[in-house]
Amino acid sequence: MIEIKNVTKKYGDFTAVDNISLNVEKGDVFAFLGPNGAGKTTTIKMLTTLLNPTSGEIYLDGHNVMEKPSETRKSFGIVFQDPSLDNELTAYENMQFHAILYGISKDVYIDRIKKLLELVELTDRKDSYVKTFSGGMKRRLEIARGLLHHPKVLFLDEPTIGLDPQTRNHIWNYVKKLNEEEKVTIFFTTHHMEEVERYGHTIAIIDHGKIIEQGTIDEIRKKAGTDSIEDAFIKLTGRQIRAEASNFSKSTLRGFRGM
Amino acid sequence: MRTIYILWIRQLKRFIRKRASLIGALGQPLIFLIAFGFGLSPVFARAGQGNYIQFIGPGIIAMTILFTSIFTGTEVIWDKQFGFLKETFVAPVSRFEILLGKTLGGATVAAIQGILVFFITLAVGFRPHSLVMLPLALLYLVLIAVLFSAVGVAIAARLEDMQGFPLIINFVIQPLFYLSSALFPVQGLPKILGFITTINPLSYGVDGMRYALSGSSHFSPWLSLGVLSAFLIAALAVGIYQFRRIQL
């Protein structure tokens, strides 16, 4: 379903993603793991047509992502790591905007918006402006919106960050159902390793822009010689805490180029 | 079509909900009308040019539209910064639809402001010379609004944040306004200034509106229509080129 071939992304001298290759099978629940600043979000941006790689090729649902961005966009949905809501609109309007952009017919979207707002427990706030929402509420709305259409591939970039265990559970059950019943391929990143063990099938670990390990959960545990994915992760990527300076340098560099 | 509609309606909703900026945007034209309209009126009359309010009315309406339209661009920059542009950019819709939705949304807002200012000009003594010509005036008004919204969006596509915007105000909007036929007649200008006003598309918008509202014009109204349309196509072409290059 997703094929990444020797993809590199450079910002000036900084290499965010360094010659990675990956395959994600149809119907898989794929966990893309790595410390902060490892290159996860950059990779997702390249997969979702927001960013062009410096070199390499990407295929999504058989479409060459760089050459056929419009076709590619029909095949996937995404929940971004950073906020992407319109604060001046209400929760319902944000959902409706998305539904119309994705060409969902009215009777389908009215029903789905209702269900999803219930799922993330925002039904009573559906007509409030998003600017009045707390961080957690915005996050929940963002996820509900991302689940509105049923694509072939669903990208979830740290979807459950800042959410309580109840909401996390609700959302994962919904995603699991999408995967099982509609065969939606799930590509997600997270720092919660118990989510990986509970819901993931295949894993790739990226660090400093390079894929350092990939395989099923069992294979990774065996290779690392550990009992849990958490231990395997720390063993493979080291104990050092990473600075997430890359986002800053990226936008600054782009700013210079834009002048 | 649904894409363009939803983008358009989003911008109208945002506009209606920000009443303070709506009223704020009417302050500047009012000051211009009072200060220039009344202040320069005796000089203008003595120079044998007739009623200055009749002359400057269409210019002030055009000014309002110009400022509001180009400010459409700021919305694109906000969308970039608040991440909403990502949401639109990963959707299965073409960049051209997004560009058109944005441009038309901004243009509608600007046209509404322009019409409000038209009523303000009536309050300070401006009189359209013929009611039959009002639809033609509206056509020019809309063309100016669409053209400069497209320009605003094309410029914003290149900017990462709001820091670049004062540059746009000082080096794009201000020259377009002051070096046009909005405040003074094109006839008898010093050569260089005359040349600049003649290549400035806003001059043609103002002149077309002046033809429809006050009954006098420097260029042929057909020429104005043609020039505005040509610039509009060019602005959309540049806009779509810039939009396709945006990396988020």
DSSP summary character for residue B52: H
pLDDT at A252: 47
- The strand order across the sheet containing A202-207 reads A76-79, A153-157, A185-189, A29-33, A202-207, A210-216
B13, B15, B84, B88: which to substitute to probe chain A, counting the most A Cβ within 10 Å? B84
Indicate yes or no: CB of B83 within 8 angstroms of CB of A98: no
Residue B161 sits at the chain A interface (C-beta within 8 Å): yes
In chain A, what are the domains? 2-75+151-258 (3.40.50.300)
Residues A110-149 have pLDDT tens digits of: 999 999 999 999 999 999 999 999 988 999 999 999 999 9
**Residue A32 near residue A206 (C-beta atoms within 8 A):** yes
Q: Could you read off the pLDDT of B46-76 as tens digits, one per residue?
A: 888 888 999 999 999 999 999 999 988 888 9
The minimal CB distance from A80 to the residues B2, B86, B94 is found for B86
CB of B90 within 8 Å of a chain A CB? The answer is yes
Question: What is the per-residue burial (b if ≥16 Cβ within 10 Å, else e) of A52-83?
Answer: ebeebebbbbebebeeebeebbbbbbbbbbeb
- B242, closest residue in chain A (CA to CA): A258
Cβ contact B92–A102 (<8 Å): yes
**pLDDT band per the 50, 70, 90 thresholds, residue A259:** very low
Q: How far apart are CA B177 and CA B68, in angstroms?
A: 12
Question: What's the pLDDT tens digit per position in B75-117?
Answer: 899 999 889 999 999 999 999 999 999 999 999 999 999 999 9
More confident residue, B248 or A76: A76
Interface subset of B 26-85, CB within 8 angstroms of A: 82-84
* Token digits of residue A130: 């998003």
B87 touches chain A (CB under 8 A): yes
Q: What's the CA gap between B184 and A222, in Å, rounded? A: 82
Complex confidence, ipTM:
0.88
| B207-233 pLDDT tens trace | 999 999 998 899 999 999 999 999 999
- pLDDT at A253 exceeding the cut of 70: no
Q: What is the mean pLDDT of residues B120-131?
A: 92
Q: What mean pLDDT comes out for the span A205-220?
A: 91
* A258 vs B17, B89, B158: nearest CB: B158
Residue A100, SS3 per DSSP: helix
Asked if the C-beta of B94 comes within 8 angstroms of chain A's C-beta atoms, the answer is: yes
Is the CB of residue A209 less than 8 Å from the CB of residue A20?
yes
* Residues of chain A contacting B, Cβ within 8 Å: 45, 48-52, 70, 73-74, 76, 78, 80, 82-89, 93, 96-98, 100-103, 251, 254-255, 258
Q: Which 3 state secondary structure label does DSSP give B137? A: helix
The separation between CA A232 and the C-alpha centre of its own chain, rounded to angstroms, equals: 22
CA distance A33 to A244: 15
Closest CA to A148 of A174, A170, A128, A124: A174
Q: Answer left, alpha or beta for residue A195, where phi above 0 means left and psi between -120 and 50 means alpha.
A: alpha
What is the overall mean pLDDT for chain A?
A: 89
The structural domains of chain B, with segments of one domain joined by +, span 2-245
Cα(A256)–Cα(B174) distance, integer angstroms: 25
- Could you identify the residue written with the tokens 């994915």? A229
The residue of B11, B15, B87 whose CB has the most chain A CBs within 10 angstroms, and thus the best one to mutate to test that interface, is B87
Q: Give the pLDDT score at A241.
A: 75
Contact in structure between A76 and A155 (CB atoms under 8 Å): yes
The whole-number pLDDT of residue A255 equals 46
In contact, A210 and A19? CB cutoff 8 Å: yes
Mean pLDDT for the stretch of residues B33-58: 89
B247 touches chain A (CB under 8 A): yes
Q: Which residue in A50, A73, A83 is closest to B82 by CB distance?
A: A83
Place of tokens 């949905």: A77
**C-alpha dihedral over A105, A108, A111, A112, to 10 degrees?**
-100
* Residues on chain A touching B3 (C-beta within 8 angstroms): 100-101
Could you tell me which chain A residue has the CA closest to the CA of B163? Answer: A255
Which bin fits B215, alpha (ψ -120 to 50), beta or left (φ > 0)?
A: left
pLDDT at B205 exceeding the cut of 50? yes
Please tell me the distance from the alpha carbon of residue A219 to that of residue A31, in angstroms, as a whole number: 14
Tokens of A106: 């009215």
For A228-252, what is each residue's pLDDT tens digit?
888 888 888 887 777 655 444 444 4
The predicted pLDDT at position A237 comes to: 85
